[in-house]
Amino acid sequence: MRSFFAKFKLFGLVLLAISAVIIYLFYNALKPVKLLPVYSPAMVNSELVSEEIQHVKKYHTIGNFSFLNQNGKIITQQDYEGKIYIADFFFTTCPTICPIMTKNMAELQKELINDTDVLLLSHSVTPEIDSVAQLKKYAIEKGVNDTKWNLVTGDKKQIYDLARKSYLAVKTDGDGGPFDMIHTENFILVDKEKRIRGFYDGTNNDDMSKLLEDLKILKASYVE
């Protein structure tokens, strides 16, 4: 009799384990998949968007570009083809928010150094000062890894147009002329289709943590 109950107990435990596995699988199958929004100009504060595209509600992507990086190499959209990347705008002589932003971008570089799916891209907003040589000096000082992170300089109007019409990151005042100046703390998360998937305060540690969490969600969306 004792042997019978022992077998019945074992059967019950096995049945319970199988039931738990089935419930877990059903839960995961039915659990809603987390997805990040795809940002369009119409979804962003109008102060940060060029007036001519404020009405656009979908299909917004980052425009083509061509700049020089800290090594004097031409960097274009092709260098980021099929990659997720995090972009920002800075200048090497900035005494206020840029040092904090650069420090946080360096922390992201450290965190993502072995992740070949993710790159970093920082645009100088004072290209007339930030020559290739100046960017190289800055890159060495800040520990920039050339295979992961490009600091770029080039035509000021193109940089400013990208900031306002592609990255939707800064106020629209000015035209990229000699007296025009933009200054933004935004880090922008861009997916493999060149679409904006998130905005983050590059001076805020909580936002940096959220960026990394959102990056995990975005990467998971590409896993079949």
Give binding residues for Cu cation as ranges.
Answer: 94, 98, 183
* Residue linked to tokens 């190499």: 73
Using a 10 angstrom Cβ sphere, with 0-12 exposed, 13-18 middle and 19 or more buried, the burial of residue 18 is: exposed
SS3 content of the chain, % helix, strand, coil (to 5): 45, 15, 40
Residues 129 and 173 placed together within one structural domain of the fold? yes
Residues 52 and 21 placed together within one structural domain of the fold? no
List pLDDT tens digits, range 20-39.
555 545 444 444 568 899 99
Residues 18 and 81 placed together within one structural domain of the fold? no
Residue 216 located in a structural domain: yes
Q: How high is the pLDDT of residue 89?
A: 96
Residue 36 located in a structural domain: no
Residues 186 and 138 placed together within one structural domain of the fold? yes
Residues 89 and 147 placed together within one structural domain of the fold? yes
Residues 4 and 55 placed together within one structural domain of the fold? no
List pLDDT tens digits, range 157-166.
999 999 989 9
In whole angstroms, what is the distance from residue 151 CA to residue 137 CA?
11
- Residue range 46-56: mean pLDDT, rounded: 77
Residues 130 and 73 placed together within one structural domain of the fold? yes
In whole angstroms, what is the distance from residue 51 CA to residue 54 CA?
5
In whole angstroms, what is the distance from residue 161 CA to residue 148 CA?
24
Residues 15 and 103 placed together within one structural domain of the fold? no
Residues 118 and 180 placed together within one structural domain of the fold? yes
In whole angstroms, what is the distance from residue 91 CA to residue 39 CA?
26
Residues 114 and 61 placed together within one structural domain of the fold? yes
Residues 2 and 106 placed together within one structural domain of the fold? no
Residue 134 located in a structural domain: yes
Instruction: Residue 77: give the domain boundaries.
Output: 41-220
Average pLDDT, the chain: 86
Give binding residues as ranges.
Answer: 94, 98, 183
Residue 194 located in a structural domain: yes
List pLDDT tens digits, range 131-165.
999 999 999 999 999 999 999 999 999 999 999 89
How many structural domains compose the chain? 2
Residue 53 located in a structural domain: yes
Residue 73 located in a structural domain: yes
* 78: CATH: 3.40.30.10
Residue 133 located in a structural domain: yes
Residue 188 located in a structural domain: yes
Q: Which of 7-21, 50-64, 74-88 has the lowest mean pLDDT?
A: 7-21
3-state secondary structure of 217: helix
Residues 20 and 111 placed together within one structural domain of the fold? no
